[in-house]
Amino acid sequence: MDELKIIFASNLIKLRTAAGLTQAELGEKLHYSDKSVSKWERGESVPDAYVLKCMAELFGVSVDYLISSHDQWEKPQSPGEETESYSRLFITLACIAGIWTLTVAEFVVAWLLGYAHWIGFVAAVPVSLITWLVLNSIWFKGKHNMYIVGALVLCILALIYFVLLEYNFWQMFIIAIPAEVVVYLSFQIGNKRIKRKKKSK
């Protein structure tokens, strides 16, 4: 039954959006509330046979089409989840902005005392990326972590280079090539495991 709800939800979202209707507009045509339509599209319930027949006539498809699988579906975010996602994004940005504020403050204080050095700004980049990586892993299920880790590897190499700038060890950037390959392959292994788990379910 749960699979049927998901299949129906996927088809309903596709047909409603293709028809240019909002949930409220569809609900009005079916004499149901937008909350009912929202529940159908979140895969929480399926309407009765009469409503399915009305929907089929409205969208110009068969009832069988409405309850047959045509594509992959992901549960849409509820308004509360969407708001929470935005909050987490802004918390992440606020943390990174805080790191840079502290970096600028440290630079200004050191400048006033006569021993300012720009290396702090270089160090702030990997610190920001580490903060982003941690929060992204906790709140956003690690989405785009591969790119963050890849950038982090490059920034750490750059930081080491600038710290040892007087020696001009530019050759160390050659390490970035195999390092980025390792990062890519590591995340591909993780993706394969996730896909296998989904298939097994």
What is the per-residue pLDDT for 197?
A: 44
What is the per-residue pLDDT for 169?
A: 84
Confidence band for 193, pLDDT divided at 50, 70 and 90:
very low
Radius of gyration of the chain (CA): 26
pLDDT digits (tens, 9 = 90+) for 13-38: 989 988 889 999 999 999 999 899 99
Query: How many residues in total does the chain contain?
Result: 201
pTM listed for this prediction: 0.55
| Residue recorded with tokens 């021993």 | 115
Cα distances (angstroms) measured from residue 54 to each of 27, 59, 81, 91, 199: 11, 9, 31, 45, 34
Pairwise CA distance, residues 117 & 135, whole Å: 29
Whether the per-residue pLDDT at 185 is higher than 80: the answer is: yes
Structure-block tokens of residue 159: 């930081």
Pairwise CA distance, residues 54 & 58, whole Å: 6
